Structure 1
Amino acid sequence: MACVDNYGLPLSTASDKAARLYRDGVALMLAAWPGAAETLDTALEADPDFALAHAARARLHAMRAEPGEAHARIVIARQKVASKGSEREQSHVEALALAITGQSQKALEHALTHAERWPQDTVILSLPLGAFGLFAFSGRADHNQARVDLCERHARHFNADDWWFLTYRGWALAENGAAYRGRAMLERAFELRRENANGVHALVHAMFEGGAGDEAEALIAGWLPDYDRSGILHGHIAWHAALAALERGDADAALALYADHVQPSASQGTPINIVSDAASLLWRLKVYGHALPQGLWQQAADYARQAFPRPGHSFIDPHMALIEAATNQRAALAQRITMLEERIGNGSLGAGWVVPAIARAVQAFVEADYAGCVRILEPYAEDVVRIGGSGAQREVIEDTLVVALMRGGEIEKARALLDRRLHRRPSPRDARWRAQLTA
């Protein structure tokens, strides 16, 4: 029998062992579960010419923010698939190569075209999906809807109990305002495969969007101990628990989770998660008026400077701005803003003017210029979605606006914004703030 992947798509390998290990390795990769790299390496021992196994290894390196290794491996995949690969496999490798070499728009277009012909090629269909996928980082304001549309378009090609598709369809729906429908799919995905960090992560997002922070905390507390710390999402899922603790006003619990799982010295996640999680959680604590232990901001700043030495990433730059503002690095922040504006001028920053606007606004906030913060940020409030990431991640910017409105004495505007937020997502923190404004 011909060797096939998890969806019956033919593979250009004559080794049943290599094909079996490839199927297992890809499933682990799509679940963000430890062991994918070792499994794929063993597949390549069984067949060193197996192009898609090389491509999957390249994808794993990219996910782990190892660009040198990813580039080297995708070169091998391209060489192997050119001499021994089907049309689908050649297209598969090309989509990954475009993404790995930073050609994001071309990668998105190629992935969408590829999915029209081979929708069950989940490694490629996954590229536009998720909070850090090609749609999210496209600079588009409608990326949440775009993910829903993509999943709905291809839903007929997946059975009702496909754990991977349920994960990404449910997450797309939850992020796009259908939290309860999305949560039902994600709970089913969790039942089907408990060892699925992407699924648990997405389910926590659905709970957050549905105002069920207590349930998210309970889920994480019961599940996280079984997810090895080397798992790519371990620290980030703990960040979600810290966020839920902050929502109910327990800063001590949030700080304990930060110390044990989230801070740069504790997390084994990717730099994009480590920096954004540290910056946004510490900033929330600051904005909410909680005291921070000495050294936390500086540790985050030291790590962030090494991880992202140059501006130009629409999601990371706002988080770098939070760190620079909080640590009084005025010159660095001013230089970042200048460089971001230059990138906008040459068309290389897809999210546009909202990115430097956030940087200017947080600087005004730390200087207690709350009116200035509001004046800068308010016109861009609807554009914050363009930086990518998830609703839970971006909410830190809106929180800053809410607190600036309250501290600046613009009570009616603060009430109106809180009312809209509470209508969209029940939040005990927002309810407390709303009550304070009414008292």
Structure 2
Amino acid sequence: MMHDICQSPVSLTSTEALSDWNGMIRAFLAHGTATPTHLGALLKREPSFAMGHAARGLFSLMMGRSELIPVAREAAVLARRYANEAAPNAREVAWVDALEHWLAGSLTGAIADMETALTTCPADTLSAKVSHAIRFILGDARGMRHSIERVLEAHGADHACRGFALGCYAFALEETGEYDKAERHGREGLVLAPDDAWGLHAVTHVYDMTARPELGIRLIEDNLTSWDHCNNFRYHVWWHKALLHLDQGDFDMALGLYDARIRADKTDDYRDISNATSLLVRLELEGIDVGPRWNELADLAQARTDDGCVVFADLHYMLALTGADRPDAKAAMADRFARDAARKGDMPQRYATPGLAALEGLNAFAEGRYGAAFSNLAASRPSMQSIGGSHAQRDVFERLTIDAGLRAGRYEETADILNDRLSRRGNRADRYFTSRMAQIDRARRIPAQ
């Protein structure tokens, strides 16, 4: 039995196939563009490798695109057929099971399968990363942390992927509020895996959450080679840099990065659209005229109103549709949310709560109905983490909630939300907190009419 760079068994029959597989693992962990190239070469060399087909299916589902669901289904059929014809190990079986669970609507089932693989092979960084990624989609920060903590001991100094495991750990620590530990482990991971864009971005998150933008900007500028090899994740790192400049009040730099980096390629990947829409919203909330930039995003979002793969994606599509004021598309999105909320499964639960209220809140804000916007967004707020993404990504909805409250004159409730946001950020006030609290203080000094 061969073992891969994750020190885990793999049912391959040649050193060439193992090299392809290891190349895929390394690229996937680094968010590299070479991931599908290595996987394609592997499946061409060993077309009966069940785990390889399962990987193709799982990676397709992670894209959050409805047109890739048939690709994942085809991969699942092949993975199960070859698993039944051979004698795969427990790790490989878990991957096939995970793909089938996800296709059946149970992302939690897929996570459980990955954890089964890790119980068998705790040094399996690939399964740890996939568990981490699916939990990220579900907003399960505590689960991310528990999962990686239980396998860290197996990622000792001799493990080829220890740096990537530390990058996942750093991100989970940051998302659970352990900012100092996150910074320490993230920087340690970057020494071991300097091309780990996820670990780099985890430390950047720390500086965003603790209002230290100058450190985040310096970290990114000092580590350009950590993410220039990346797939579209590189746009996300540029987005982080734009947020840090925004926190410094450098709106021109943020908008310049939007044009030169974040939307240099007009892709319709939901993660790229979420970067773009959330940055434009932040700029508009600061009074910046973003010009016609909403239009190309709305054109892409309008074609995605029926996707229904990820609530996080759909709420960002809605930001584009409200930004460009596309009433028919907004209505279609609201109708589809209602349909999805009535179904069963992990994602439909999130369309029901908080999706419906959040969607209505975004629409109300765009229409200037700030009282309704605040009521709906505040009602969705306790469950917003379940839509996935990070604290930094979901902060766009926090800002819309707060600005809706200010415009509706709901000052005391808004102050409570601002203070709660502050406490989640290590009690370090960023520019946004300071400016909005100043508005509330001014309003409190105005005598009631």
Quick check: TM above 0.5?
yes
Deviations, residues 397-424 of structure 1 (Å, cap 9, x unaligned): 1101111222222333333332332333
Question: Residue 108 of structure 1 contacts residue 128 of structure 1 at CA under 8 Å; is this kept in 2?
Answer: yes
One-letter code aligned to 2:154: H
When residues 49 and 194 of structure 1 are mapped into structure 2, their CA distance, relative to the original with a 3 A threshold, is same
User: What residue is the counterpart of 1:248 in the other structure?
Assistant: 248
Alignment map for 1:44-123 (pairs within 5 Å): 44=43, 46-63=45-62, 66-88=68-90, 89-99=92-102, 103-123=106-126
Partner AA of 2:325 in structure 1? N
Would the alpha carbon gap of residues 411 and 63 (structure 1) be closer, same or farther in structure 2, given more than 3 Å must change? closer
Counterpart among 286, 302, 307 of residue 305 in structure 1: 302
2:23 is matched by which residue type in structure 1?
D
From the superposition, tell whether residues 148 and 327 of structure 1 become closer, same or farther in structure 2 (CA, over 3 Å). same
Number of residue equivalences: 429
Q: Matches of 2:259 and 2:438 in 1, distance apart?
A: 31
Q: Which amino acid aligns with 1:388?
A: G
Match among 428, 432, 436 for residue 435 of structure 2: 432
Q: C-alpha separation between the residues in 1 aligned to 2:108 and 2:414?
A: 38
Q: Give yes or no for the alignment of 1:399 onto 2:399.
A: yes
One-letter amino acid of the counterpart of residue 359, structure 1? L
1:35 equivalent in structure 2:
34
Q: CA deviation at 1:95?
A: 2.0
Q: Is the CA contact (8 Å cut-off) linking 1:354 and 1:383 kept in structure 2?
A: yes
- Which residue of 1 is the match for residue 289 of structure 2? 291
Residue 156 and residue 122 in structure 1: after superposition, are their counterparts in 2 closer, same or farther (change >3 A)? Answer: same
Quote the residue 2:341 is aligned against. Answer: 344
C-alpha displacement of 1:199? 1.9
SS in 2 for 1:7: coil
CA deviation profile, 1:70-91 (whole Å, cap 9, x unmatched):
4444443433333334332222
CA distance in structure 2 between the aligned counterparts of 1:99 and 1:197, rounded to whole angstroms: 26
In the alignment, which residue of structure 1 is the partner of 2:330? 333
Mapped partners of 2:301, 2:423: distance in 1? 35
CA RMSD of aligned residues (A): 2.7
- CA distance, structure 2, for counterparts of residue 413 and residue 63 of structure 1: 37
Alignment of 1:125 with 2:128, yes or no, is: yes
In structure 1, the residue matched to 2:373 is 373
Kindly indicate whether residue 322 of structure 2 is the aligned counterpart of residue 319 of structure 1: no
* Counterpart residue number, 1:388: 388
Equivalents in 2 of 1:189, 1:308: separation in Å? 39
Measured at CA, do residues 231 and 313 of structure 1 come closer, stay the same or move farther in structure 2, by a change above 3 Å?
closer
Partners of 1:175 and 1:209 within 8 A in 2: no
Q: Tell me how far apart the structure 2 counterparts of residues 180 and 26 of structure 1 sit (CA, whole Å).
A: 29
Distance 1:225 1:145 in 2: 30
SS of corresponding position for 1:119: coil
Query: Deviations along 1:240-279, whole A, 9 cap, x unmatched?
Result: 111112122222111111112222x5266x7120221122
Q: How many angstroms does 1:134 deviate by?
A: 2.6
CA distance in 2, matches of 1:338, 1:46: 46
* Residue type at the aligned position of 2:37: E
Amino acid at match of 2:287: G
Map of 2:13 onto structure 1: 14
Q: Deviations over 1:283-323 (max 9, x none)?
A: 112222211122x1110011122345344632122212222
Change (3 A) 1:382 1:45: closer
**What is the alpha-carbon distance in structure 1 between the residues aligned to residue 258 and residue 273 of structure 2?**
12
Q: Is the 8 A contact 1:22 1:39 kept in 2?
A: yes
The one-letter code of the counterpart of 1:38 is T
Residue in 2 aligned with 1:273? 271
* Greater displacement, 251-260 / 3-12: 3-12
Distance 1:16 1:100, change over 3 A: farther
Instruction: Report the alpha carbon displacement of residue 436 of structure 1 after superposing the two structures with TM.
Output: 4.1
Which residue identity lines up with residue 146 of structure 1 in the other structure?
A: G
**Mapped partners of 1:365, 1:241: distance in 2:** 27
**Unmatched 5+ stretches in structure 1:** none
| Kept in 2: contact 1:180–1:210 (CA 8 A) | no
Native 8 Å contact 2:61 2:69 kept in 1: yes
Equivalence for 1:261: 261
Q: How does 1:416-431 map to 2 (within 5 A)?
A: 416-425=416-425, 426=428, 427-431=430-434
Alignment of 1:151-162 (within 5 A): 151-159=148-156, 162=162
Shift of the alpha carbon at 1:147?
Answer: 1.7
* Deviates further, 232-241 or 14-23: 14-23
Aligned mates of 1:18, 1:5 — CA distance in 2: 11
User: Once the 2 structures are TM-superposed, how far is the Cα of residue 396 of structure 1 from its aligned partner?
Assistant: 0.7
Measured in 1, the distance between the counterparts of 2:124 and 2:33 equals 22
| Percent sequence identity over aligned pairs | 25
Over 3 Å counting, the alpha-carbon distance change for 1:182 and 1:20 in structure 2 is same
- Contact 1:325–1:333 (CA under 8 A) maintained in structure 2: yes
